[in-house]
Amino acid sequence: MNKSSSSFLFRSLGLSLASILYCQTAFAVCATDTDASPKGPIQLNAQGEFVPQWAKKAVWYQVFPERFRDGDSSNNPTKQDLVGADPAEPPKEWQVHPWGSDWFELQAYEQANGEKELWKHMLRRRYGGDLQGIIDKLDYLQDMGINALYLNPVFDSPSLHKYDAASYHHIDPNFGPDPEGDRKLMASENATDPASWVWTQADELALKLISQAHKRGIQVIFDGVFNHMGINSFAFQDLKKNQQDSPYKDWFTVTSWDDEKAGTTFAYEGWFGVPSLPEFKEDGKGLAPGPKEYIFAATERWMNPKGQGAAQGIDGWRLDVAFCVAHGFWKDWRKHVKSINPDAYLTAEIVDTPKNVKPYMQGDEFDGEMNYNFAFASSEFFFNPGDMSISPSEFDTKLREMRNLYPKGVAYVTQNLFGSHDANRIGSHIVNRGIGNFADWGTYFNLSQAASNPDYQVRKPNEQEIRLQKLFAVMQMTYVGAPMIYYGDEVGMWGGNDPDDRKPMLWPDIEYDDEVYLPDGNKRQPDKVNINTELQAHYKKLIHMRHQNPALTLGSFTTLLTDDKKDLYGYEREYQGQRVWVIFNNSDQEQQLTLDNPQHYQFTDSLSGAKITQQQDVLSIRLPRKWAAVLVKG
């Protein structure tokens, strides 16, 4: 969703991309068909499900490659590499941005450009993150217990976010070891003839990343942006040059051509009107034949590289703005994907009500989704203050509706997230709780952007606010569905919505300046930027707890407790006789509670902090404020 450049571009025009995207009229802008009914029999596995079983056991980690780790400084972007990305105006001065610098502080080269618009500076920044950096930190992810990796776009693109692809069949040269050499190789091929496609060094490094991840038991999925490309794309560049004579004239929706006699100039439809993102042409069945065939070929390239088998390729895809592409395309594409790897995982970005998401999850399109509705409900229960909050029974009802809405197995593979590259980080969300309701996506998107909301607090979360994050993490790691961590949340990174949610990752070998600047350039009380090792240990403990207890990944769900008066909530996860009881004290007071235990189960508190007394048929628990107990039957 929400390309960073687009968000800033709309804001510079006095608009918000998010509000355009997710208002009721926005969905009509995307050229999709209305027939989502399943076509043909749904292929079910031995469990009577259509979802890959490994995805139930996944603990996802989302990486924004440009901001994760600079593993090879020799490939860092140059000023020329920015051409084609927003903002269109070339900077007078430019350099790779210092990794450990204060986020809102304009560096000398930025000040030399003399531009007052903060969004322009933010969009031009490059920190040098690359694929080697991700490879270098696979051991860190493995140690944390991560076994599934979702990468934001890695394909050739001039922007920091890579949602404006120049191609889908090549990794961005600046993510590999030889940008100049790669670009020369790429220039020799026919982009629409897969037989002519070369393997660049960046492409080879991507295969190495996949291989190294697989050796550590980590699955990898790529971000597929199949609604549009960037203006640097081979197809659009040829179309712009050759107009009606271009072989790509039917790839995009051209509204007028260069014609001196008619007095017209070349114009086309950009995604939501953004000129840097020319949108693919669609008919009632999906994408036009040209881009469809190209996407199918690129899909196979990364899922079965060099024809060496699916085990050498990526393990699935995350599909950007899936609601902007017609159902017919997704149905055909799923068949193609599953023919290459029947165990591939397909997850969609569809920020909408569960009812509107449901048609995409019927077995012939996607396996799961980025579960923002889980985040919305969790925010309302754990974080929203006063009248904005919901009770334990209301929370339980919302969760039950989401679990029961989809076919069997889907709830177990949805990616249960909170933060992402399109939302303020969980720590800053908690700091600013009460500014709006997360579920009001378009409105909240604007409210959570620090540069456009002077009331948004950009400070570091304090100890009590981190405690709330820890409480949510317990829910995330013990509930039905696959938890997904946005890079850096586990070490206490903070930041508002795009672009502040895309700060460089915190690493122990890098020295970070204190954050003292506000978005408007004024100074504030300094905040120390460092790794929160206690929070990190909490996430690691929970992740390993999830792996060690199959009931938390495969188990049934039964509500045990909804005490609206005391703000207590609890549930049981059960699998093949293993039982885990999870109890939350969401109140501001220590609470004493009792649960019936007629079977005399003997429990151990795996989280610590709760006092447990077991007497006959009753289990008594004393829980500290804003804390939880995870009780595993011995």
Residue 430: C-alpha distances to residues 180, 434, 455, 478, 583 (Å): 44, 9, 14, 21, 21
**How many Å apart are CA 532 and CA 427, to the nearest integer?**
12
As a whole number, mean pLDDT of residues 487-502 equals 98
From 24, 25, 27, select the one nearest 1 (Cα to Cα). Answer: 27
> How confident is the model over 289-310, as pLDDT tens digits?
999 999 999 999 999 999 999 9
Q: Is the pLDDT of residue 209 over 80?
A: yes
From 478, 481, 213, 299, select the one nearest 372 (Cα to Cα). Answer: 481
Q: Is the pLDDT of residue 248 over 50?
A: yes
> How confident is the model over 44-61, as pLDDT tens digits?
999 999 999 999 999 999
As a whole number, mean pLDDT of residues 551-560 equals 98
Both tokens assigned to 627: 């804390």
| pLDDT confidence band for 28 (50 / 70 / 90) | very low
As a whole number, mean pLDDT of residues 119-137 equals 98
Q: How many CB atoms lie within 10 A of CB 449?
A: 24
As a whole number, mean pLDDT of residues 82-107 equals 97
Mean pLDDT estimate for the chain: 94
| pLDDT confidence band for 23 (50 / 70 / 90) | very low
Q: Is the pLDDT of residue 8 over 80?
A: no
**pLDDT score recorded for residue 564:** 98
Q: Is the pLDDT of residue 19 over 80?
A: no
Q: How far is CA 375 from the centre of its chain?
A: 12
> How confident is the model over 215-244, as pLDDT tens digits?
999 999 999 999 999 999 999 999 999 999
- Of the chain, the percentage scoring pLDDT greater than 70 comes to 95
> Side chain identity at 326, as an amino acid letter?
A
As a whole number, mean pLDDT of residues 114-122 equals 95
**How many Å apart are CA 312 and CA 544, to the nearest integer?**
27
**pLDDT score recorded for residue 3:** 42
Comparing 12-26, 454-468, 521-535, the range with the smallest average pLDDT is: 12-26
| pLDDT confidence band for 611 (50 / 70 / 90) | confident
**pLDDT score recorded for residue 434:** 96
Q: Is the pLDDT of residue 506 over 80?
A: yes
Q: In what order do the strands lie in the sheet with 316-319?
A: 368-369, 345-348, 316-319, 219-224, 148-151, 60-63, 482-486, 415-416
From 38, 55, 39, 43, select the one nearest 359 (Cα to Cα). Answer: 38
Alpha helices in 222-326 (DSSP H): 234-242, 289-303
As a whole number, mean pLDDT of residues 342-347 equals 98
| pLDDT confidence band for 39 (50 / 70 / 90) | confident
**What is the DSSP code string of 73-107?**
GGG---GGGGTTSSS-SPPSS--PPPTTS-TTPPP
**How many Å apart are CA 151 and CA 302, to the nearest integer?**
13
As a whole number, mean pLDDT of residues 273-281 equals 95
Scan for tokens 């938890």, then name that residue. 483
From 236, 95, 264, 248, select the one nearest 166 (Cα to Cα). Answer: 236
